Amino acid sequence: MKKVLILSGAGLSAESGLKTFRESNGLWEEHDVMEVCSASGFRKNPKKVREFYDERRAQLEKVKPNHAHEMIAKLKAEFKDQIFVITQNVDDLLERAGCKDVIHLHGFLPELYCASCGTHFNIAYKKQESTTCPKCKQPFLRHNIVMFEEPAPQYQTLYEALNQSGLFVCIGTSGYVLPVGHFASMCEHSILNNLDADPALDSCFDKVYTQKASTAIDQIALDIRNYLGGNYV
């Protein structure tokens, strides 16, 4: 059975109003990545990290899925067992667009987990402050987001999906964290969509759409339908 992997990054949610990380005016210009997004930073100043993610949740509540999230949800509903939807994003915009079975490689912002008993639970867009574990009532909670210096358990799922997919579609990621150019070489066909051209990365893909995800997605949907229907060019 032909399969397609759609891997997204911050660029997918940019038009909804969530900042990307590495573009000018991006999150890593406003915050020191190692202070708020590393295991050592969290040990040093947990309050700062909690406030950073409280702020992210408050922002997430104010934004809505865009056309690209909606189109991915539609494709996933249409080709349930043939499309893997995997994202580096921790937001819930794909889910809010109705997308099923989204795999979050770097965790999920609306969730916390309990360091005492391991329970994961959803606080939606609330602040973490004074929350206790619904199961063991302990206060030792943390964001359910992978930090630098920690393993990312879902990467195993990503590699399994790559091994099964003939078409790799990469939307809105700079490739600084994941070697997406290498992933392209693992699949027979590959498509990249980013707002900014990056000659080194672009050269790894068969097709490149250098434009907003919300405008590229209709052509990408056509490419996916053609690939799964045996008419890919």
Q: Which residues in 110-169 contact ligand OAD (CB under 6 A)?
A: 146
Q: How far is the CA of 228 from the CAs of 50, 59, 100, in angstroms?
A: 43, 37, 19
82 vs 164: CA distance, rounded Å? 10
- Binding span for ligand OAD by CB under 6 A among 12-20, 38-46, 111-119, 122-130: 12-20
Structure tokens at 84: 């893997």
Q: Is 172 in the site for ligand OAD (CB under 6 A)?
A: yes
Which residue in the set 14, 18, 73, 204 belongs to the binding site for ligand OAD (CB under 6 A)?
14
CB of 2 to ligand OAD, least distance (A): 25
| Residue 10 beta carbon to ligand OAD: minimum distance, rounded to whole angstroms | 4
| By the rule CB under 6 A, 212 interacts with ligand OAD | yes
Which of 9/227 has CB closer to ligand OAD?
9
Comparing CA positions, the residue from 98, 93, 96, 91 lying closest to residue 76 is: 98
**Is 176 a residue that touches ligand OAD (CB under 6 A)?**
yes
User: Does the protein bind ligand OAD through residue 103 (CB under 6 A)?
Assistant: no
37 touching ligand OAD, by CB under 6 A: yes
Catalytic site includes residue 106: yes
| Catalytic residue, candidates 69, 104, 106, 143 | 106
**Binding positions for ligand OAD, rule: CB under 6 A:** 9-11, 14-15, 20-23, 26, 37, 88, 106, 146, 172-174, 176-177, 193-196, 212-213
